[in-house]
């Protein structure tokens, strides 16, 4: 199957999904409208038997007729969206039929067809890069982001597509993140000579929690959605518009996530169709170029390629996340508090004050105030946190490779 056919099929899948979603929404709206009308009818009958005034009865009757009219309109929409969904799915079946055994989608579910096409595409990343109109690499400035960007940029350079690459950083501000994160992400982009864009998430995590009066958690991870994903999403529209193509643009959205990070990430595929961000004007494929890497692989690549990383890793924090990430474990949070103190940051006091003000614990299992108390005990027993530049590399790639890395980085500075 050639690239053009795959793209046509993916677009047909997107349309079928969109049509099904519209039909499901219409169905839900009809159920609501029908329920409201059904409730209004006995009320009218009851009112009549209680001999209300003619004016009140007329008003009740008018309200009921309005609800009945809405129910009929909602029912008509269900029929329209059903027809549209059937047409979209039938178009997909016709398009896929030459590539399938049997009729329609050959008995395969749409999700299997999608996975098959995306799986083939993911196995040919050079073709993917060549076919893309733009490649957006989301970067937190962290170790996985920089290795992801390194892979994407290497492929783009090999295929003469470096001008398609843009690195995007969601800046949550220094009330949420460690100092120097945005500047680091910018230096990483400048190293390869690719465009660098920043989207600001005003208020950051602190502002979000202040507004909601609740900390996010793993089940309701609103912070990533509202502070990162939703800020970056409008860029896809801007990029597609700037391309000014007479046809649907193909945008690759590269993310530096790894399967080894969590069970949820183990279930991710190397390539996915972003149905939320895709429209008739742009197809957005989410690409996970380093899904297969382990943490050790990442540090080896950083050492080998001389990629700059943030100093918090040397203080043995495993992720360059928000200073107090709601997903972090207790020991990491204790270390983050001690690192704040070592760097002279007042964030522990500000976050615990917020926790007290809103009356909602940072985590169900423990409060941030408890974490700060534990950090204070550790400081009293062990003294202030100490670390040296290159410590994380010494742990992961060995003394000699770390020394070599530092020498090369200093020489390049
Ligand atoms: S780093 Fe943690 S706290 Fe910050 S946005 Fe991501 S999940 Fe939320």
Residue 120 lies in a domain: no
**Based on the domain organization, do 104 and 136 belong to the same domain?**
no
pLDDT, tens digit, 9 for 90 and up, residues 277-291: 999 999 999 999 999
Picking from 92, 114, 136, the residue at the C-terminal end of a domain is 114
Q: Tell me which residue has its CA closest to atom 8 in ligand 1.
A: 223
Residue 119 lies in a domain: no
* Dist. CA 325 → ligand 1 center (Å): 5
pLDDT higher than 60, residue 113: yes
**Based on the domain organization, do 108 and 129 belong to the same domain?**
no
Largest interatomic CA distance in the chain? 95
Q: Tell me which residue has its CA closest to atom 6 in ligand 1.
A: 224
Q: Which long-range contacts (CB under 8 A, 24 or more apart) does 60-64 make?
A: 64/37, 64/40
**Based on the domain organization, do 247 and 335 belong to the same domain?**
no
pLDDT, tens digit, 9 for 90 and up, residues 168-226: 999 988 889 999 999 999 999 999 999 999 998 888 888 889 888 999 888 877 888 88
325 touches ligand 1 (CB under 6 Å):
yes
**Based on the domain organization, do 20 and 130 belong to the same domain?**
no
Lowest mean pLDDT among 35-44, 49-58, 129-138, 281-290: 49-58
CATH number of the domain within which 268 lies = 3.40.50.620
**Based on the domain organization, do 223 and 317 belong to the same domain?**
no
* Dist. CA 20 → ligand 1 center (Å): 32
**Based on the domain organization, do 203 and 264 belong to the same domain?**
yes
**Based on the domain organization, do 76 and 174 belong to the same domain?**
no
Indicate the pairing of strand 271-273 with strand 282-287: antiparallel
321 touches ligand 1 (CB under 6 Å):
yes
Cβ neighbours around 259 below 10 Å, total: 19
Enumerate the β-bridge partners of residue 392: none
327 touches ligand 1 (CB under 6 Å):
yes
In 59-217, the DSSP E strands lie at 134-138, 165-171, 195-200
Domain that holds residue 353: 305-412
**Alpha-carbon dihedral sign for residues 251, 256, 258, 264:** negative
When pLDDT is cut at 50, 70 and 90, the band that residue 231 belongs to is confident
């Amino acid at each position: 199957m050639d690239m053009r056919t795959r793209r046509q099929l993916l677009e047909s899948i997107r349309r079928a999904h969109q049509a099904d979603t519209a039909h499901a929404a219409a169905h839900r709206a009809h159920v609501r409208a029908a329920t409201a009308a059904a409730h209004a009818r006995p009320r009218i009958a009851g009112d009549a038997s209680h001999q209300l005034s003619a004016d009140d009865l007329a008003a009740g009757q008018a309200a009921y007729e309005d609800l009945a009219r809405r129910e009929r309109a909602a029912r008509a929409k269900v029929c329209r969206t059903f027809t549209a969904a059937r047409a979209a799915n039938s178009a997909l079946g016709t398009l896929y039929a030459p590539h399938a055994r049997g009729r329609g989608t050959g008995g395969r579910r749409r999700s299997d067809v999608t996975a098959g096409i995306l799986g083939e595409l993911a196995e040919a990343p050079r073709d993917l890069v060549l076919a893309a109109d733009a490649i957006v690499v989301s970067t937190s400035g962290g170790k996985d982001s920089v290795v992801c960007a390194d892979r994407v940029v290497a492929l783009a350079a090999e295929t003469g597509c470096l001008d398609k690459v843009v690195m995007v950083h969601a800046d949550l501000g220094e009330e949420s993140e460690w100092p120097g994160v945005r500047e680091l992400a910018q230096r990483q982009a400048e190293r390869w000579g690719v465009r660098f864009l920043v989207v600001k998430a005003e208020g950051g995590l602190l502002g979000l929690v202040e507004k909601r009066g609740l900390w996010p958690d793993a089940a309701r991870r609103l912070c990533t959605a509202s502070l990162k994903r939703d800020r970056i999403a409008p860029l896809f529209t801007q990029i597609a518009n700037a391309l000014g193509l007479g046809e649907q643009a193909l945008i690759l959205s590269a993310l530096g996530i790894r399967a080894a990070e969590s069970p949820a990430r183990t279930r991710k595929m190397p390539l996915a169709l972003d149905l939320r961000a895709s429209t008739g004007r742009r197809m957005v494929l989410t690409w996970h170029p380093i899904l297969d890497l382990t943490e050790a692989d990442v540090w080896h690549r950083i050492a080998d390629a001389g990629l700059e990383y943030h100093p918090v890793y040397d203080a043995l924090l495993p992720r360059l996340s928000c200073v107090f990430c709601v997903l972090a474990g207790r020991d990491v949070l204790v270390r983050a508090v001690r690192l704040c103190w070592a760097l002279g940051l007042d964030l522990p006091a500000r976050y615990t004050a917020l926790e007290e003000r809103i009356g909602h614990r940072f985590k169900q299992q423990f409060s941030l105030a408890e974490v700060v108390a534990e950090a204070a005990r550790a400081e009293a027993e062990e003294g202030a946190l100490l670390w040296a530049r290159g410590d994380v590399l010494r742990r992961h790639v060995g003394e000699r490779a770390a020394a070599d890395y530092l020498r090369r980085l200093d020489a390049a500075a």
